[in-house]
Amino acid sequence: MKTITILKNNRGSSIVFFTIILTVILGFAALTIDFGVIAYEKFRLTSSVDAASLAGAQELVANTGYTKEVAESYIYKNIQNVKNVVVSVDSSSRMLQVSSEKTVDNYFAKIFGKNSQDISAVSKARVENIKSLKGARPLAIVQQTFTYGKMYTLKEGGGDGTTGNYAAIALGGTGGSIYRNNLLNGYSGTITVNDVIPTETGNIAGTTVTSINELLGNCNHIPACTYQSYNKYCSKIIFLPVVNTLTVNGRKHIKVLGFATFFLEGVTSMGGQADVIGRFITYCMEGETSTTINDYGTYGIRLIK
C-alpha cells in the first residue's frame, strides 16, 4: 500500500512539474514571437521614417513649402495606425527630422497582461553638396554665382575661342568620338572635386550641334519637360563640372570645384561656332557629398541619424 501512495504522489508532482515547464516554454515561445513581431514593426517604421526624411529633404531643394507635407504623406502612406508624426524642418541648415510612433499589439504576451507595446523611430536627413558624380558632360562652366532659371551659354562662353578653347573638356580621353559619346551619354567615369581635367581644343561645332539636338529630341515626356517641371531622368538635364578657369591656352588642365545642373534649351550654330544654351536648375542626385565644398546647386541627401 505504501508503495502505491508514493507512486501516486510521484505522478501528481510530475504533472505539476510538467505544467510549470510547459508554462515556462510557452512563455518563452510567446515572448519570442512577440519580439519577432515588434522587431519587424520597428524595422518597417524605421524604414518608412528614413524614406520620409529623404523624400522631404528633396523638397528642401526644389520646393521648400512642400517639405513637411511630402514627408508626412510618406509615413501615412506606408504605415497604418501610426501616431505622433512630427516633421521639423530647418531650412537654413537644409535639415529635416522626422519622428513617429506606433502601438503594436502583442499576440501572446497578453497572457501575462501586456496587451501592447509602443515603438518609435527617428530619422534626420541633410542636403549636402555633391562632391563626386558619374555622368558629367564634357562642357565646363566657370565658377560664379548661378541664378535659378537663368539662361547660360554652356559652350563657347568661357574662353570665347580666343585661346583655342571653347569650354569643352576631355573626359576619359581626347578626340571627337569620345567627346560625342560623353555629350550624348555622360562620362562613364567619376569626377571628384579637386580633380584636374584637360580642356578639349577646337570648337567641335558640328558634333556639338548634332549631339545637343539629339538630346533635345530625346525628351518624349508628356507634357514636354520644362526647367520648372521635368522628368528627373530627362535627356535635357545635364551635369557640368564647375571649374576655376577656362582662360587657358591650348590643352591645359583645369580644376573642378563642384557641379552645376542645367536644363537644355537649345543649341545655335553661327559662323562655325556652336553655342549650347541651358537654364540653371537645382537638382538632387546620387553621389558622394560634402559640407565643406562650395554650393553650386547640385545636391545629394544624406541620412545623419
Interface ranges with Zn ion (CB under 5 A): 219, 221, 225, 231, 234
213 or 231: whose CB is closer to Zn ion? Answer: 231
218 or 291: whose CB is closer to Zn ion? Answer: 218
- Of 80, 85, 83, 82, the closest CA to residue 68 belongs to 85
**Any bridge partners for residue 128, and if so which?**
300
E strand map for the chain: 82-90, 95-105, 116-134, 141-142, 151-153, 165-169, 190-192, 196-201, 237-243, 253-270, 273-281, 283-284, 288-290, 298-303
The minimum distance between CB 221 and Zn ion, in angstroms, equals 4
38 or 216: whose CB is closer to Zn ion? Answer: 216
Give the CA distances from residue 254 to residues 5, 29, 123, 292, in Å, rounded to whole numbers and listed in that order: 100, 66, 39, 20
1 or 222: whose CB is closer to Zn ion? Answer: 222
Please name the residue ranges forming H helices in 121-280. Answer: 176-185, 205-217
- Of 100, 97, 54, 60, the closest CA to residue 76 belongs to 100
The minimum distance between CB 125 and Zn ion, in angstroms, equals 27
51 or 264: whose CB is closer to Zn ion? Answer: 264
The minimum distance between CB 284 and Zn ion, in angstroms, equals 17
Question: Using CA atoms, how far apart are residues 122 and 47, in angstroms rounded to an integer?
Answer: 10
The minimum distance between CB 262 and Zn ion, in angstroms, equals 14
101: exposed, middle or buried (Cβ count in 10 Å: 0-12, 13-18, 19+): middle
- Of 271, 157, 261, 274, the closest CA to residue 212 belongs to 274
140 or 234: whose CB is closer to Zn ion? Answer: 234
Q: Break the chain down into helix, strand, coil percent, rounded to 5.
A: 35, 35, 30
The minimum distance between CB 73 and Zn ion, in angstroms, equals 25
The minimum distance between CB 276 and Zn ion, in angstroms, equals 17
60 or 264: whose CB is closer to Zn ion? Answer: 264
The minimum distance between CB 265 and Zn ion, in angstroms, equals 13
204 — alpha (psi -120 to 50), left (phi > 0) or beta? left
The minimum distance between CB 224 and Zn ion, in angstroms, equals 7
11 or 232: whose CB is closer to Zn ion? Answer: 232
